[in-house]
Structure 1
């Protein structure tokens, strides 16, 4: 368990899902963080100026905006802050983009409190997607497979909901799920 002693560490959570943001805020406050929530890209930049947080949890999809576009401005303002991009639609390409833009880490939602704390405080916990970047060169089919698995997980295994979210026919999705692409080492 991670509990801070003395001065509280400032954490900015940029998440457009208000219920999720409030839940994360409560969870992180229990571990000694002073937490600020904001729900839009413009509010995020204002909050960075106002609070100067040491840590930023940034959702990749903010209504009609991309959290990726916020990484550079936040990094320019908060040189020493630890920026972690959170997404419900994980892929290797967005992990690479996030790290190149200046994020310190990249995690797929849902994420448990211990993983989040370890990532923010220790920096030792690299997400599977980032480890895979260093170890494996993936084909388009493998990236698609990982994305489908992530969306399926978010939908609690519901094939119909996953197919709708992926704009794919349910039978097509079922066929793709039957064929797992082989891992290709670099």
Structure 2
């Protein structure tokens, strides 16, 4: 026999927008198990279309997608449904993108790889309660490496331009880019 759902449970619609299909499927299954009615998209265009057709009450959006910036989906959702709770996921965490995400309407910003428990906690946390500091935050070396990688990508993988913008010697930058990411 089916259990009856309350009106608040029927409003727990969740849109997950991420171009990493295995991650998208795992997170969707995990969030369905936590009581959300989940819809997924793997492009900005698909995410925007789903927001336009039926704006969800919750969203998890990857910052960088193959066809654009996930913040476009966050902004559209904020315009369509101001009460929606959105979090942004990214592998390129830095202060500037976190500020942009929050200004666009996100309630939290999580670095990948974020697990389903972290995502669920961020989506359902009381807005008046401050988030707990992470158990295993990125090291300073990792944050530096992520920032360099982000600037490098924004400069279309041009080493000379990236070095100029970061105010570092080109050879130093090349050595950093040749190494593996620090933990």
Q: TM-score range by the shorter chain?
A: 0.5 to 0.7
Name 2:52's counterpart in structure 1. Answer: 49
Q: For the pair shown, which has the larger CA radius of gyration, 1 or 2?
A: 2
| Inter-partner Cα distance in structure 2 for 1:63 and 1:147 | 24
Provide, for residues 58-108 of structure 1, a one-character-per-residue CA deviation record: whole Å limited to 9, x for no partner: 110110311123322221011110011110110011001111122111111
Q: CA RMSD in A?
A: 3.2
Shift in CA distance, 88/10, structure 1 to aligned 2, threshold 3 Å: same
Name 2:143's counterpart in structure 1. Answer: 146
Q: What's the TM-score once normalised by structure 1's chain length?
A: 0.67
Shift in CA distance, 39/172, structure 1 to aligned 2, threshold 3 Å: closer
Please tell me whether the aligned partners of residues 90 and 147 of structure 1 are also in contact (alpha carbons under 8 angstroms). Answer: no
- Out of 80, 83, 95, the residue aligned to residue 80 of structure 1 is 83
Shift in CA distance, 173/119, structure 1 to aligned 2, threshold 3 Å: same
Structure 2: gaps spanning 5 or more residues: 135-139, 150-156, 160-172
Q: 1:172 deviation in Å? A: 6.8
- Out of 19, 22, 27, the residue aligned to residue 30 of structure 2 is 27
Provide, for residues 132-171 of structure 1, a one-character-per-residue CA deviation record: whole Å limited to 9, x for no partner: xxxxxxxxxx7x851426999xxxxxxxxxxxx9x75346
Q: 1:14 deviation in Å? A: 0.6
Name 2:73's counterpart in structure 1. Answer: 70
